[in-house]
Amino acid sequence: MSEAASASVSATGLASEIRRRRTFAIISHPDAGKTTLTERILRAGGAIQLAGNVRAKGERRRTKSDWMGIERDRGISVVTSVMTFEYGGCVFNLLDTPGHEDFSEDTYRTLTAVDCAVMVIDAAKGIEDRTRKLFEICRLRDIPIVTFINKMDREAQDCFGLLDEIASTLALDTSPATWPIGRAGHFAGTYDMRTREIRGEAATLSQSDARMVALSEELELAEAALPLFDRESFDAGHLTPVFFGSAMKEIGVTDLLDALVAYGPEPRAQPSETREVKADEEQVTALIFKIQANMDPNHRDRMAFARICSGRLTRGMRLKHVRTGKQFALHTPQFFFARDRQLAEEAFAGDVVGLPNHGTLRIGDTLSESEELRFTGVPHFAPEILRRVRLDDAMKAKKLRQALVELAEEGVVQLFRPQDGLPPIVGVVGTLQLDVLQSRLQGEYGVAIGFESTPYTIARWVTGERTKIEAYSMANRSAMADDLDGDPVFLASSNFMMRRMVEMNPDLAFHDIKQIGLSN
């Protein structure tokens, strides 16, 4: 859009631009085909010419969304990738989340920034543990779910059984939008239950083909037994439209995209401490939900990813950084396509933009054009594994301190500084996070580290009157630490010790969840 045309965007124009935004995450259990589906969506949307294949070798394995070295080496997603592209008259902001449970915090934070989620299910395995947990997070946030049952070109469960499992396990009504024609090696395409059109090779099959005969029988049962799609129920998170297909064979992907254009949710109102912020408000507000350092190692850059919650953002405008009270200038806001980027002259509510900064912005921060408000719902969860960092080269102690702070601000790990002055402790959900930390410290900062066990197994944030916290900290100095924000954390050696501390200190509260950006 030209500068003159951009300046003339009216309230009607603002609402129109916002309505065509579709911001969604793709969630799944590992190995359900999430990254492959992401690549196929990008290709179907015209965003890339050749989709990568996470199961291929060499250069073909270098998918767009998995751009970090450790992701390419291991064939897994460890950070959320943001990709913005246009399709069907809509602007899509696709957030490809890590599937592995060790990186669940990154996924939870990402879900604060989306209006919809595509849930990918392996047709052979059905609902798996990680799928169930991610769905529960979506339910807590009332995020509508679109379901894609993948890998129909392989051995699969009965379709009615899969739909029943979704309904019974997730308490979610299922309304099939498409139906598979054939299974495994005989999978030939899909039947669109809304338009009654046949997609794929099945369009050439005769009505006497066994697959078409089976389709007729299954459709009769499906139409009699399963609910029709209801937009209101979908928007409320009570019903999911279900698409069958094969991401690997690119069957069903366009159907999924077209559905997101047709009834994917527009940008939703976002909760703040004081009120709900509606997307079509003229004043610009934004939530920082992700930090990524060193996306361009040559420039040691540091990118904050912001969900525009309301209004129209323009390059060069200044917003209030609510946590510090200072002004933050938007000199070079950027749209991202995984690691690639493009200058964003303007962005609207629902869009995700990258904001270069030097550590000013943190996860959970709010940017506002004028109003003093803070968005809520971005959590830190207590880590399940605590390890002390061992530095192999003492000459790099200063560099290690800086690197740990930067990576902790990014959310790679949680950082705790013991109040008794001993070396820092890092907290993680799973051991794979430790591998990522070790790899990135070596590769991006040139710092080699190891890990040592600690006597602690539990970390809890401590809140209460300041004088009582100070007295408690003095009495338990060897088990107290400060987190990245300087908030006090008690480190317990066992569940028994934790229960004892809670009982002995009724004036204090011990939390396993902390709202990022808000001081306890």
31 annotated ligand-binding residue: yes
Residue type at 335 in one-letter notation: F
Q: Judge whether 119 is annotated as a binding position.
A: no
Strand partners, 277: 270
DSSP H or E stretch at residue 303: strand 302-310
Considering only CA atoms, which of 376, 382, 470 is closest in space to residue 425?
A: 382
| CA quadruple 261, 263, 266, 268: dihedral, nearest 10 | -150
151 is in an annotated binding site: yes
Burial of 188 from C-beta contacts in 10 A (0-12 / 13-18 / 19+): buried
For residue 506, say whether it is annotated as part of any ligand binding site: no
Would you say 29 is a known binding-site residue?
A: yes
Q: Is 35 annotated as a binding residue?
A: yes
Instruction: Name the helix (H) or strand (E) containing 87.
Output: strand 81-87
Q: Is 180 annotated as a binding residue?
A: no
448 labeled binding residue: no
User: What number of other Cβ atoms are within 10 A of residue 206's Cβ?
Assistant: 6
Distance separating alpha carbons of residues 10 and 282, to the nearest angstrom:
10
Gap between the Cα atoms of 510 and 80, Å rounded: 30
Do 258 and 88 form a contact (C-beta atoms < 8 A)?
yes
How far CA 284 is from CA of 112, 145, 179, 335, 401, in Å, comes to 18, 27, 43, 17, 35
Nearest to 514 by CA among 373, 383, 374, 372: 383
Ligand-binding site membership of 379 (annotated): no
Q: Is 28 annotated as contributing to ligand binding?
A: yes
Is residue 380 part of an annotated ligand binding site? no
Only one residue has tokens 């990135």, namely 440
* Residue-wise burial string across 412-421, b where 16 or more C-beta atoms lie within 10 A, e elsewhere: bbbbbbbbee
Q: How far apart are CA 131 and CA 204, in angstroms?
A: 36
What SS3 class is residue 261?
helix
Binding residues for GTP, by number, are 28-35, 96-100, 150-153
Binding residues, by number, are 28-35, 96-100, 150-153
